[in-house]
Structure 1
Amino acid sequence: MISDKLDIEKIVDLIKKEIESSELTRKIIELDSKLVELKKTIESLVIELTYIKEELRELRGDKKKPFEIKTEKRQQRVSENEKERKELQISKPEEKRIERIEKRVDEEDLIICD
């Protein structure tokens, strides 16, 4: 009788352990799936934030340039580049004028024959 009782207790303990382990396993699987969902959500948020950051940079334009410490050589190169850019901006209208004049000259050179 006592041995039967001990056997029954052992079996009950084994069943309890199995139930606990299966519940624990189920919870672990559930948490793992939630972690995967969180990871995907975070990745999509990072992509969205990167996109927004780029849009903000484009909208700001030259209004808010980051602060830079420039060496003398770099400052000189930057100023030379700015001068070249200004010269190009000035030369573009001149090129347009030249094109207009060339068109007029071409039109005047036409000989009309009857």
Structure 2
Amino acid sequence: MSPTELGSITHADVDWLRDDVLKELNSTIQRVTSFFGDRYVDVYSSSVGHDACQPAGTKWVEGICGDAADYWPAKVPGTLLNCALVGKRATLVHPNAEGHANTAAHVERAIRIALLER
């Protein structure tokens, strides 16, 4: 992996984070929302294949250092991380515009369905 993707995090680390942390977290959130009668909006399934390791135009998440507007910092205070060295910003594995658009579309759909059910 490139330092602009996930730095020193290995593919095994990413697998662990996805399978043992993220999927479990999503499952817990889904159970809690169901318990309270709320609607869980699954954005995980649609984002598969759009991770930070994909090329620009395919990825919906920027890596440790990624493309972002100038107001994003290039350095993380108190660390040695300086994404300016590779012409990037410190995005710290954050959704990009496409990732936000995907989430917005799913949330909008859930809201519209909920309104129709009233």
TM-score range, shorter chain: under 0.3
Structure with max Cα Rg: 1
With a CA cutoff of 8 Å and minimum separation of 6, indicate the structure with the bigger relative contact order.
Answer: 2
* TM-score (norm: length of structure 2): 0.23
The answer to which structure has the higher helix fraction is 1
